[in-house]
Structure 1
């Protein structure tokens, strides 16, 4: 995973601009590019290549299809004319899929999109006039299987015009369309070549929601004091694919052929990227630019908030430059001791907490908004999961027997040396880097009878042991109907609560289709409240779900694991609970973009 320094970067002057040269060091990274919702230092210079979010979910309308969405170009003002945002011409936008463990650094399927812009009426400053459109954008979609040659599956896809306003879209002075929504839906196309992929490329409401202003002000969340969705009424550009399960499954099997809803042969890993030419030459007279054809990755994203809230600022640009499986060794350490956990623990032991590990400083006292999310320090009387603590690394050989910790991935998942001090290698690291197997101890506390290392009720299996950051999805898990009273944007945490507390599910240890098993981090639905889920996970909610309860539960004396601390974690709010608008009920599911003439801030 280390990269050797091979050649120093050079900046060219005059009419040349180098857009993606990088220097890699054997001890640290010094790259020149970055990406994703502005979470890395250099992405502000290149928003067209900024991959903001990735989604992967079972189509709620068709059990044999999977929807993949990659969003780009953040913080688009709907009224941001006269040159409205659109996909970049000299960028390769790609969606990558892994469905095999062989050749771990090679994509099993890649969809590549390249875009072309045309000005139909260069004589006007308007974007649309008299049925002509400037910055009119079309695309080519190519597909590669097993790292082979790319084949064109959409030769002339159309990106709908920006939703400027009614005169531009529906009047005779503009495009004279019946409605923007119908016009946009009409650009959905079916790919050639027999696989039957549906494809959409165009602007959408940004489906991500979070109180950005508060969370980046040292996690000062303001749940009861004017929380504001920092992405409300902004647009993004979406690349959306609806793909048959049989196209994505490693051996071409349908979802109906799965042996169970947790069949491990149906797990895929998904990530998206953007790449630019390594060199661009600008014309001194204002003419066309000239690019070389050597592309390098300048943006990538798999799991949400990975680079935003896990990777420290000094490594963010490097992380964007690498591919899954080629991350720096330190990335595992960031996951085993996530920085956010520092703000969920106190220096002074409270409520019977264990003394803090030597040479470790916490900041929980300074972040009162996260007080409800205190991490286990003496779970079941002995297990401390704060940064720098031992976690489960001290398990004996006898305790590891029959668990996934005695297998090939045991040392990776346990970080089984107390001196390493990587307590979250058992929960946060596998969620981001391998997926979670349907194996002991990763089963619900239901049926464990107080022993977290016993077999329990299965509720997840998205284990794809190709180490690296990807959004992992088990395609065999049925979609939870969005109209179901059990549907929750809390994803797998909601499924865990039902599996432990609901009489429909907690009376046995058999596999059942518990609502929201198809939610984050088993894939990611548009609705899923990933900020809250990840904060709860960092606070130890996943550990509690498998029976490593919070500190105020004492076996034999406390009546129920549903203690005040656990209830506080489950009732925690990050301030913004849902998107600022609805989602569509059919492909491409992302909502119609905000119209430029209707925005009030």
Structure 2
């Protein structure tokens, strides 16, 4: 058997027989924008993750739960630019990968608590190409051919506790014909854990921005700003809600209210593809993705260090200090809009990105490191402002990050000196998500549906026995849905089956 072996090494990223992994190199963060799927928060932000979207962390959120102020909600999103018409092989988490949400509750830049999700795939019938073989109303329906299952563990030092065993990921929103009550399916994927909840599955991408802000800041042409480039796209989300005391140092959220959060993914170091097309992996786990504060690896870390940053640990972030104290972005803004470049070194940016803001979310004896820091003692705002702390709403970014926080506008203004007295109104013109968020955990909006979301014509086909009509899109996803329905109809005694029975009876 011929085998190809891929070896990933931390730091150097030596890759043997895997040149294709580097084929998706992204243009530098301040270069011209090519295809629409190029840059956003942490979407396709580095060469390796651009070529391996299942381990590409897109966004991280951490906030005091708006409907339960004694709890904290953490959300890490993965797989950028998921099109809704992706059948029959819809997007999934990567089996065997360790997806982690890391929490530092004492300011030493090391994880004190890790929430870890690990997934496996399951097909009920591997001899069909269909994702579902008929309408689905439950996560355990026989008609839901493909499911992903996961184990969620909590790691505290050497102690590991299983929170969810054999959980089921919410399925992709195939369409109204296949999943007539998708919201019910989605909610079935919310699991109760000790003192909290968790969810894994697809959702609308909550991040919002006009990607052309990366096209040299529109090239000074502001006539067409304000188009949400992520409108209609989905992601895969990992969400967990836990009591604040569960993540505070010594379990005391009153004395120790500040936590730092970042998310990572780890793959095994050796990936093997056999001559028969089967894939397997072995070896030690190495970190291949990392995300804390939004847009850091996107527009702060230079392109030659992006994969290296994704493999690095917060405790070693002193090596990236220069990119923060004298960032490239203000110089670009100056070249396009002639706004003055704030004086360096940028201690204001160090506080936002590396230490937390003193008096807001900076822990005592903090070791500078890139994390999303949250002061859990600040209650949710009754009237959240998208600009967070810049608008005197201290419950918002950069004190944690809520789904509604406009981090692009905030960071553009901060990088131009908003915290040092240089007031400005920079922004991308997109102030909110394209669809509203939900009022309860996991707060994300439902994922966009397949055929229903497609800009293609639709038609209808009669159900068996004239029992109404199915809406069917004329695109690929519509064809898949139609085939699924026809297969289901035949198994239930459709025209072909009943005709066969009549012929047998006549014989």
Q: After TM superposition, give the deviation of residue 42 of structure 1 in Å.
A: 2.3
Question: Does residue 267 of the first structure (1) align with residue 258 of the second (2)?
Answer: yes
Partner of 1:200: 199
Q: CA RMSD in A?
A: 2.2
Question: Does residue 599 of the first structure (1) align with residue 463 of the second (2)?
Answer: no
Counterpart of 2:435 (choices 548, 560, 581) is 581
Q: Is the 8 A contact 2:117 2:153 kept in 1?
A: yes
Partner of 2:270: 279
Q: After TM superposition, give the deviation of residue 160 of structure 1 in Å.
A: 1.4
Q: Distance in 2 between matches of 1:272 and 1:137?
A: 21
Partner of 1:528: 405
Counterpart of 2:354 (choices 429, 433, 455) is 433
The structure with the greater share of residues assigned to strand is 2
Q: Distance in 2 between matches of 1:227 and 1:106?
A: 39
Q: After TM superposition, give the deviation of residue 151 of structure 1 in Å.
A: 2.2
Counterpart of 1:314 (choices 286, 289, 304) is 304
Question: Does residue 60 of the first structure (1) align with residue 71 of the second (2)?
Answer: no
Partner of 1:502: none
Whose relative contact order is higher, 1 or 2, with alpha carbons under 8 Å and at least 6 apart?
2
Q: Distance in 1 between matches of 2:188 and 2:59?
A: 24
Question: For 2:299, what is the secondary structure of its paired residue?
Answer: helix
Partner of 1:244: 243
| Equivalent pairs, count | 423
Partner of 1:462: 362
Within a 5 Å distance, the mapping from 1:401-550 to structure 2 comes to 422-424=344-346, 426-438=347-359, 460-463=360-363, 465-481=366-382, 484=383, 487-495=384-392, 516-544=393-421, 550=422
Q: Distance in 2 between matches of 1:423 and 1:327?
A: 17
| TM-score normalised to structure 1 length | 0.67
Counterpart of 1:20 (choices 8, 17, 36) is 8
Partner of 2:145: 134
Report the CA distance shift for 1:14/1:311 in structure 2 as closer, same or farther (over 3 A). farther
Q: After TM superposition, give the deviation of residue 328 of structure 1 in Å.
A: 5.8
Q: Distance in 2 between matches of 1:14 and 1:156?
A: 34
Partner of 1:342: 331
Report the CA distance shift for 1:96/1:297 in structure 2 as closer, same or farther (over 3 A). same
Q: Distance in 2 between matches of 1:574 and 1:18?
A: 40
User: Which blocks of at least 5 consecutive residues in structure 2 are unaligned?
Assistant: 14-18, 27-41, 135-141, 456-507
Q: Distance in 1 between matches of 2:395 and 2:428?
A: 22
Q: Is the 8 A contact 2:132 2:146 kept in 1?
A: no
| TM-score normalised to structure 2 length | 0.79
Q: Distance in 2 between matches of 1:434 and 1:488?
A: 23
Q: After TM superposition, give the deviation of residue 286 of structure 1 in Å.
A: 3.3
Q: Is the 8 A contact 2:408 2:427 kept in 1?
A: no
Q: Distance in 2 between matches of 1:135 and 1:275?
A: 24
Within a 5 Å distance, the mapping from 1:44-193 to structure 2 comes to 44-101=50-107, 104=108, 106-130=110-134, 131-145=142-156, 147-170=157-180, 179-191=181-193
Q: After TM superposition, give the deviation of residue 90 of structure 1 in Å.
A: 2.4
Q: After TM superposition, give the deviation of residue 107 of structure 1 in Å.
A: 1.3
The structure with the greater share of residues assigned to helix is 2
Q: After TM superposition, give the deviation of residue 122 of structure 1 in Å.
A: 1.9
Post-superposition CA distance 1:94-143 (Å, at most 9, x none): 00000013xx3531100110001111122322211134223310110011
Q: Distance in 2 between matches of 1:95 and 1:543?
A: 32
Q: Distance in 2 between matches of 1:522 and 1:86?
A: 31
Larger mean Cα displacement after TM superposition, 228-237 or 300-309: 228-237
Question: For 1:423, what is the secondary structure of its paired residue?
Answer: coil
Report the CA distance shift for 1:339/1:48 in structure 2 as closer, same or farther (over 3 A). same
